[in-house]
Structure 1
Amino acid sequence: MNDMSFLADRVVTLLKGFCRSQIQLKQIQSQIILHNLQSNTTIAQHLINASQSHNLLNSLLPLFTILTPKPHVFIFNTLIRAFSHSHIPHTPLFLYTHMQKNSIFPNNFTFPFLFKSLSDSNNFIQSQCVYTHVIKLGHLNDLYVNNSLLDVYASCGYVSLCRQLFDEMSHRDVVSWTVLIMGYRFCGKYDDALLVFEQMQYAGVVPNQVTMVNALAACASSGAIEMGIWIDDMIRRNGLELDVILGTVLIDMYVKCGRVEEGLRVFGNMKERNVFTWNTVIRGLALAKSGDEAILWFNRMELDGVRADEVTLVAVLSACSHSGLVDKGRLIFNMLVDGKYGFCPNVKHYACMVDILARGGRLREAFEIMRCMPFEPTKAMWGSLLACSKSQGELEFSEFAARKLVELEPGNAAYYVQLSNLYAEAGKWGDFERVRGMMKERELTKDLGCSSVEVEHQRSASELLA
């Protein structure tokens, strides 16, 4: 073995097992540059891997784009793959452009991770440009290249192009089918997503856990409980592991379809759970208006040593709101304000508290919270105050909330109608005519049968749990 081979082996050994800090890595990199070893593909691969582990990937760009005359395509593929997993989404495209300028011809291993980075950054236009190179270089029928392009189309919302490419592919695997299902799900075409899932079964392709997660999420969003139950049975028949992700989305499907007990059964069968799993259960109980049980599970979560997050508190406060648990909601909110959970309440927590108090007949207290909180009151808060004060016959609060809604959304005719009706109810005919005059001046027409405040109130409560 000559001295250069010995040195190369020594460098690889150091990079693989003895590089424990950024300083050590920089020292090794200096020796690589000093002895001009950066063109060695094995050394380059281990250097890139070590730099990725120590968050020093950016330091390699001058090394391979300036100091190295014409690196092997393998080195650039390794760099593109490493940067595609980093939080620097545009670097893979920079590296690919450098390859083009320096006549370093890409191969079929270049494109999947380049497309991944373009998918992550939703760069549809550039992905189309790169795809022309795929066609020109003869990689049109490569399964992995096509799957990665499918992912770009799905992530960017071009599901029709995703479907077109899928239909044109000569070979498809479980990833191809899963990405198409995901694309339909992301753009809200849940029935199409489930239809593709069924077609996948007829094609004899066995779904994996990612497929199941996307299909169950489509069931949850569309209320397709029969399909959800069928997928649950399939999971059990095939002996798939009910890991924390699959288990959580299965619970979410059951609770959103009104089968809370089935969701709790799945929870009990899970070996591992995280805060998202607990949040899904508590949110489901809140939607089912089982406030006491939601609080019971919230307390059990704390006893199990799982730290509540901001979503947990929104779910449990919403449960208190839907079940009329004013005192319990106030107690939990006050503990949140006092710092028990390690974070400050955000606007959603305040909106929940306003809703709790307004529904519970504590309109003055709800108004006081809105006045003193560190945020500007939202449309949802004023909508809650208006709907509750109307149902409780509190015209003063109703008028004030309606005026605020008109100020926040001056182009919404429904709010003017609400306000003018309140003035008519109170016998304030001058104000009634003034509001109707404003509507005429702004060319706003009354939508017959529209009562948007109650709808807005119900929708805002649901959106807090979404």
Structure 2
Amino acid sequence: MHKSSILPNNFTFPFLLKSLADSHDFKQGQCLHTHVLKLGHLYDIYVHNSLLNVYASCGRMEFCRQVFDEMPQRDVVSWTMQYAGVVPNHVTMVNALAACANFGALEMGVWIHDFIRRSGWELDVILGTSLIDMYGKCGRIEEGLAVFNSMKEKNTFTWNALIKGLALAKNGKETFGWFKRMEQEGIRVDEVTLVSVLNACSHSGLVDIGRQIFLSLSDGKYGFLPGVKHYACMIDLLARSGYLEDALKCLREMPYEPTKAIWGSLLAGGKTHGNLELSEFAARKLVELEPGNSAYYVLLSNIYAEMGRWNDVEKVRGMMKQRDLKKDLGCSSVEFEPSDQVTQLLAQ
């Protein structure tokens, strides 16, 4: 590449530095660090993280600290590599994976998984569950399944991470299949498990399966009764599928106060299936729950407009003006390289 007068770029260096980290080649790592400086790749976070990895793998934490201090920006990987001035351990990696899962930082999560493999660490139940959770929340459930299948030990949290990931992928039948397998293997089903399964049923239109699970839950099969989240999932399932009367019946029988999510499900179900009276009722309840949220007034106003009730449209607008509420602008954000530059687009 050098003989052909082709200069390495910010995509080249991470691969080169990874191979040096694998072989613990400190001297060659320093040579590449010099080239990074000469070619002006100081502001690329992936190059910096790769340098941290080289120095950490060679046990040269003084260099690791120096690179870290000179970084113009840092992410979860940077902090993990530098954590407490030592080479990362299982605890720091679990924390880092949790951060990746919460922020949808897939590339970082893959990098951490690669580090774990290269370090020869065994996937214990905590580390493996953290990886499954990260992949599921980042939309890469196939990788999560591969991690799950490679684990020697699993617990309820591991199964929940997998089932939740499948539910997020809106794969209802596969989610239910893994849920049945969980029961067959004698793994304890908890509240989180059933929320995930009912949520998957809702997004896949599996009404009969959802009813069956909720009935078993209500009958005490799992050792606890339905909570407000289980009711919210069931009402959402029924409203989405057009069983609006059944959804309202479930609402009335529920021993909890309805939440915003529940009223939102009824509002959406009413609009989808042509019951604008139900949507109006739900929108009014949302306004009552959050009188300072302008979005709910806009929803109610739009429903009245759809029904041709223009006097009510004006009343809602008057309420907004009286309470000094304004319609929020639509907003989109676009991130450009370098990654600290974000452009925000507003829609009037």
Same-fold call, TM > 0.5?
A: yes
- Aligned identity (percent) is 68
1:394 aligns with 2:275: yes
Q: What residue is the counterpart of 1:290 in the other structure?
A: 171
Query: Per-residue deviation at 1:226?
Result: 2.7
The alignment partner of 2:197 has SS state of: helix
Taking structure 1 as reference, are residues 406 and 323 closer, same or farther at Cα in structure 2, changes over 3 Å only? same
The one-letter code sitting in structure 2 at the alignment partner of 1:426 is M
The one-letter code sitting in structure 2 at the alignment partner of 1:216 is L
Aligned-residue CA RMSD in angstroms? 2.4
Distance in structure 1 (CA, Å) of the matches to 2:138 and 2:330? 29
Taking structure 1 as reference, are residues 276 and 447 closer, same or farther at Cα in structure 2, changes over 3 Å only? same
Work out whether residues 191 and 222 of structure 1, in 8 Å CA contact, stay in contact via their aligned partners in 2: no
1:359 aligns with 2:240: yes
> How many residue pairs align between the two structures?
263
Q: What residue is the counterpart of 2:52 in the other structure?
A: none
Work out whether residues 77 and 112 of structure 2, in 8 Å CA contact, stay in contact via their aligned partners in 1: no
Taking structure 1 as reference, are residues 232 and 445 closer, same or farther at Cα in structure 2, changes over 3 Å only? closer
Stretch deviating more after TM superposition (388-397 or 335-344) = 388-397
Work out whether residues 276 and 303 of structure 2, in 8 Å CA contact, stay in contact via their aligned partners in 1: yes
Specify which of 77, 95, 100 is matched with residue 194 of structure 1: 77
Taking structure 1 as reference, are residues 191 and 376 closer, same or farther at Cα in structure 2, changes over 3 Å only? farther
Q: What residue is the counterpart of 1:240 in the other structure?
A: 121
Taking structure 1 as reference, are residues 225 and 415 closer, same or farther at Cα in structure 2, changes over 3 Å only? closer
Q: What residue is the counterpart of 1:23 in the other structure?
A: none
**C-alpha offsets along residues 241-270 of structure 1, whole Å, 9 cap, x if unaligned?**
211111100111111222211111111111
Q: What residue is the counterpart of 2:68 in the other structure?
A: none
Q: What residue is the counterpart of 2:200 in the other structure?
A: 319
Query: Per-residue deviation at 1:436?
Result: 2.2
Q: What residue is the counterpart of 1:249 in the other structure?
A: 130
The alignment partner of 1:241 has SS state of: coil
Higher share of residues assigned helix? 1
Query: Per-residue deviation at 1:211?
Result: 1.4
Query: Per-residue deviation at 1:233?
Result: 2.5
Distance in structure 1 (CA, Å) of the matches to 2:160 and 2:74? 26
1:344 aligns with 2:225: yes
1:446 aligns with 2:327: yes
Work out whether residues 163 and 175 of structure 2, in 8 Å CA contact, stay in contact via their aligned partners in 1: yes
Structure whose alpha-carbon radius of gyration is higher: 1
Distance in structure 1 (CA, Å) of the matches to 2:233 and 2:92? 35
Distance in structure 2 (CA, Å) of the matches to 1:339 and 1:393? 36
The alignment partner of 1:403 has SS state of: helix
Query: Per-residue deviation at 1:425?
Result: 1.9
Distance in structure 2 (CA, Å) of the matches to 1:358 and 1:389? 7
1:266 aligns with 2:163: no
The one-letter code sitting in structure 2 at the alignment partner of 1:217 is A
Matches within 5 A, 1:404-419: 404-419=285-300
Taking structure 1 as reference, are residues 446 and 200 closer, same or farther at Cα in structure 2, changes over 3 Å only? closer
Question: What is the TM-score normalised by the length of structure 2?
Answer: 0.71
Matches within 5 A, 1:179-190: none
Work out whether residues 82 and 88 of structure 2, in 8 Å CA contact, stay in contact via their aligned partners in 1: no
Q: What residue is the counterpart of 1:456 in the other structure?
A: none
**C-alpha offsets along residues 252-297 of structure 1, whole Å, 9 cap, x if unaligned?**
1111222211111111111111100000000000000111000000
**C-alpha offsets along residues 311-366 of structure 1, whole Å, 9 cap, x if unaligned?**
00001001111111111111101110011111010000000001111111111211
Query: Per-residue deviation at 1:426?
Result: 1.4
Taking structure 1 as reference, are residues 448 and 209 closer, same or farther at Cα in structure 2, changes over 3 Å only? closer
Distance in structure 1 (CA, Å) of the matches to 2:300 and 2:107? 45
Distance in structure 1 (CA, Å) of the matches to 2:75 and 2:115? 20
Matches within 5 A, 1:86-97: none
Distance in structure 2 (CA, Å) of the matches to 1:307 and 1:331? 18
Q: What residue is the counterpart of 2:211 in the other structure?
A: 330
Q: Greater relative contact order: 1 or 2 (C-alpha under 8 angstroms, separation 6 or more)?
A: 2
Distance in structure 2 (CA, Å) of the matches to 1:444 and 1:275? 46
**C-alpha offsets along residues 161-219 of structure 1, whole Å, 9 cap, x if unaligned?**
xxxxxxxxxxxx99xx9xxxxxxxxxxxx963222224569x7x322110111122222
The one-letter code sitting in structure 2 at the alignment partner of 1:222 is F
The one-letter code sitting in structure 2 at the alignment partner of 1:347 is V
The one-letter code sitting in structure 1 at the alignment partner of 2:228 is V
Q: Which runs of 5+ in 2 are unaligned?
A: 1-59, 65-72, 332-348
Query: Per-residue deviation at 1:238?
Result: 2.2
Distance in structure 1 (CA, Å) of the matches to 2:221 and 2:322? 52
The one-letter code sitting in structure 2 at the alignment partner of 1:420 is S
Distance in structure 1 (CA, Å) of the matches to 2:328 and 2:96? 38
Query: Per-residue deviation at 1:440?
Result: 2.1
Distance in structure 1 (CA, Å) of the matches to 2:74 and 2:230? 34
The alignment partner of 2:75 has SS state of: helix
Stretch deviating more after TM superposition (329-338 or 229-238) = 229-238
1:221 aligns with 2:102: yes
Distance in structure 2 (CA, Å) of the matches to 1:417 and 1:222? 30
Distance in structure 2 (CA, Å) of the matches to 1:317 and 1:228? 28
Distance in structure 1 (CA, Å) of the matches to 2:143 and 2:107? 13
Q: What residue is the counterpart of 1:436 in the other structure?
A: 317
Distance in structure 1 (CA, Å) of the matches to 2:113 and 2:185? 26
